[in-house]
A and B are shown apart, each in its own frame.
Chain A
Amino acid sequence: MRPSRFGGRTCAASFLVGLAAGGALGALAVAQLASRMRADGLVKDAETDHLRRTEEQLLARLAALDAAKTDFMATVSHELRTPLTSISGYVELLRDSGPEELTDAQRRMLEVIARNARRLRELIEDILTLSRIEAGGFASEPGEVDLAEVIGRAVAAIGPAAEKASVGLHTDVGGPLLLQADGVQLDRVLANLLGNAVKFTPAEGTVTIRGEQAEGHTVLVVSDTGMGIPPEEQNALFVRFFRATNAIRQAIPGTGLGLAICRKIVDNHGGSIEVESTENVGTTITVRLPHR
């Protein structure tokens, strides 16, 4: 065996492990890449057996790593909830105390603590959700779901927040939109998309939700007249923890995980999600889900 060949392979293997450990590539993709390397004649027959063994070991290790990661995420989120319960609970008790008991400055400080405890809670929930979706795929047995009903529920849920922000909600949904899907996860997609649309749209703006059937697909379109996303950042929008600079500048709260969760769910359903946006004009997110 030539040292150069060996060295090259080790390097490729650790590159793949690094990618997969980062959650960017599944074990399947590793196998596909390895067989493509073989097909391309990058590896000689004599080395194929060795490579296949290494590959199998790698796959087993990746699967174990992935399971450990998921388990770790679930445990961490669980462990974080307990201290967070005390922090937010005691802050609530303090904020509920009589008008004479606290100064205005103290109330403002408690407001900051409460806001940040809420933010931490949302982060924990989103991280847990994402790790579960990445691990197992579905939250419930996929079955027949009517997207029109999912949209109806989500619109009803976001109603009060939209009203408070003086953002108009318009729905344009044509009849029942049946597809095979995980209803719980679709609820999540809708909640995240509508939540974003309302959050990033200034007062007197509008959010439009459209649902329709089209060539073997069910299409969901959520458009807003909000702040938009700078063009150079639109590609990064679905990356975990990414937040657009204009959102950060205006101190609009968020975890940067909502769209990553949406994309993962849509991927699990074999669908696609696309964004079209112009800064200070608005954003349109289009989700296409196959009927299956």
Chain B
Amino acid sequence: MTVVLVADDDADIRDLVAFKLEQAGFEVIAVEDGQTALEQARSRQPTLAVLDVSMPGLSGIDVCRMLRADPATAGILIIMLTARVQEQDVEGGFSAGADDYVTKPFSPRELVSRIQALLSRARA
């Protein structure tokens, strides 16, 4: 089963994403901050990580950059969740190495299809 790491400090959104992803057949590791996300990514080696950009402490962008910098986690696919739509935030996410980004409010259905698209692109 494909393992997906979900990091968001908002419990409702974290549960929403986890529920939808489990329904879609993924195994989900849900965490509430960047530091835990980093630890879980290193120990559990998920195929893909959904990272909220604005988390206290380590932001999603920080986590993304650190995962990319470490050869052991550099191959994890990363989708950023952002509540900002300013161009510089999107560019910031991509320059940190994200594969895709989704802006809040997003449709859970759309998030799943973006994840599946990334996965099939990575497998191809």
Contact = CB atoms under 8 A, between A and B. Distances in A.
Are both chains from one complex? yes
Interface of A: 74, 78-79, 81-82, 84-90, 92-93, 96, 117, 121, 125, 128, 139-140
Nearest to A88: B105
A85 B20 contact: no
Contacts, number: 51
B109 A86 contact: no
B106 A89 contact: yes
A140 B86 CA distance: 11
Contacts of B19: 93
A96 B109 contact: yes
A82 B83 contact: yes
Interface stretch (B8-16, B41-49, B71-79): B8-16
A90 B12 CA distance: 9
B122 interface: no
Contacts of A79: 83
A90 B86 CA distance: 26
A87 B12 CA distance: 9
B13 A82 contact: yes
A85 B13 contact: yes
9 tightest Cβ-Cβ pairs between the two chains A and B? A85-B105, A81-B83, A86-B12, A85-B104, A81-B104, A84-B105, A89-B16, A78-B83, A88-B105
B10 A88 contact: no
A121 B84 contact: no
A81 B86 CA distance: 14
B13 A128 contact: no
